[in-house]
Structure 1
Amino acid sequence: MNECEEQTRQAAAKPGVAAELILLRHAPVATPGRLCGRSDPSAALVAADIARLRAALPLPGRVMTSPARRCRQTAAALWPAQAAQPDARLWEQDFGAHEGLPYDALPDLGPMSGADLAQYAPPGGESFADLCARVAPALAEHGQAAAQMPAPLVLVVHAGVIRAALSQVTGLLSAGLAFEVATLSATRLRCGPEGPVSVIGANLA
């Protein structure tokens, strides 16, 4: 049994300590086709898609969001009676000079290794490693809170934040970059007293 499995087993053995942290990616943006990090477009909310996702999820014990409009709008559409609290640490990666560019105008980073890609920062922006460092304390804090709650704690966030969470749980910085994260998908993490310890499922639509 590896360390992660042992942590999960120990957490599950304690009532009320093996709770879930659910990370949801926001709904599609209303102006697609461009790289969207710190820019703040509205979400394109489709009632049928929202209803489907709501039906697939347990009722949250608490909802936190990125301050981005698309995340706040998604949370409000999913659970209109439950006030979501913003956390500035959960913003998407800052893409600097690449922000807002059409996808076909972005540089081709395909030849880079995963390790190099994690360290690459667009001019004036953040690297994925920077994002992971910013997000890690928030994930630990919210994961610890989730471990004490009878219902899941939900974070409505961005693809980059979810990939950062997967990197943190797997223990390999570049690992999160290997995951696809669809809009309105859920990534579910098992949490123990120290925060997230294992992945229950990723990119669940």
Structure 2
Amino acid sequence: MKCVLIRHGKTAGNLAGRYIGCRTDEPLCPEGIAQLRMGRYPAVERVFASPLRRCRETARLLYPAMEMEIVEDFRECDFGAFEGLSYADLNGRADYQAWLDSGGELPFPGGESKAEFSRRCVRAFAACVARAGVSSAAFVVHGGTIMAILEKFAQPRGAYYDFQVGNGQGYVLNLPGGLYRRLETEQPC
């Protein structure tokens, strides 16, 4: 199965460099909508999406004629006390420095750990693949969701943060096997 993993388009929070997790349900910003409209995305037979507005709006823009299946466990990580704050806001805070020093392994204060978040996303992805019944599907989700899925399934293997991806960008993952490549979304010149 060809799995097209797409990170949602830009939001105001993304532009401001804020931690925007599952507690903030913001829409795409005009720049995000324009970027998505300029991109090229592969045709698929099914669309799965996070329940958060930014993902639903992205899925509607990229696949307007297709019905999307909302998958609750694809929602973004719970950033806890860091939700809505920028890197500058958090600079100098002991809890933020401890989280950074852990390589992102500590739970967010009052939120999820990377391990909890990854288990949730991987379990949901595996269930979608098992029931999809098609040869291709798009998964319109969050950057962390993509990193969790690829850390588990991609070949050759990589670490979670090796799979970071920009807004409106993504990967194509082929299962079984796990071979993957970057999604090319740029329009030709």
Superposed displacement of residue 104, structure 1: 1.1
Which of 55, 63, 82 is residue 66 of structure 2 equivalent to?
Answer: 82
Q: Which runs of 5+ in 2 are unaligned?
A: 91-95
The answer as to 2:163 corresponding to 1:183 is no
Q: What are the residue-to-residue correspondences of 1:189-200 with 2, within 5 Å? A: 189-192=173-176, 197-200=177-180
Q: Quote the residue 1:49 is aligned against.
A: 35
TM-score by length of structure 2 reads: 0.82
Which of 81, 105, 126 is residue 97 of structure 1 equivalent to?
Answer: 81
Cα 1:80/1:101, change in 2 over 3 Å: same
Coordinate RMSD, CA, aligned: 2.5
TM-score by length of structure 1 reads: 0.76
Per-residue CA deviations over 1:38-84 (Å, capped at 9, x if unaligned) read: 1111112555532332xx33211010100000000011111211121
Superposed displacement of residue 169, structure 1: 1.6
Contact 1:45–1:74 (CA under 8 A) maintained in structure 2: no
Per-residue CA deviations over 1:152-199 (Å, capped at 9, x if unaligned) read: 21110000000101111259998112332100002111112xxxx313
Contact 1:118–1:174 (CA under 8 A) maintained in structure 2: no
Cα 1:136/1:80, change in 2 over 3 Å: same
Look up the SS of the partner of 1:70 in the other structure.
Answer: helix
Q: What are the residue-to-residue correspondences of 1:1-205 with 2, within 5 Å? A: 19-31=1-13, 32-33=15-16, 34-38=18-22, 39-46=24-31, 48-53=34-39, 56-106=40-90, 107-108=96-97, 112=101, 116-145=102-131, 148-150=133-135, 152-170=136-154, 175-192=159-176, 197-202=177-182, 204-205=184-185
Per-residue CA deviations over 1:118-169 (Å, capped at 9, x if unaligned) read: 53111110111111111111121223345x423x211100000001011112
Which 4+ runs in 1 deviate beyond 4 A?
45-48, 170-174
1:30 aligned partner, one-letter code: A
| More off after superposition, 43-52 vs 156-165 | 43-52
d(CA) in 2 for partners of 1:172 and 1:50?
29
Superposed displacement of residue 203, structure 1: 6.0
Q: How many residues align?
A: 176
d(CA) in 2 for partners of 1:60 and 1:105?
40
d(CA) in 2 for partners of 1:179 and 1:110?
19
Share of identical aligned residues, percent? 30
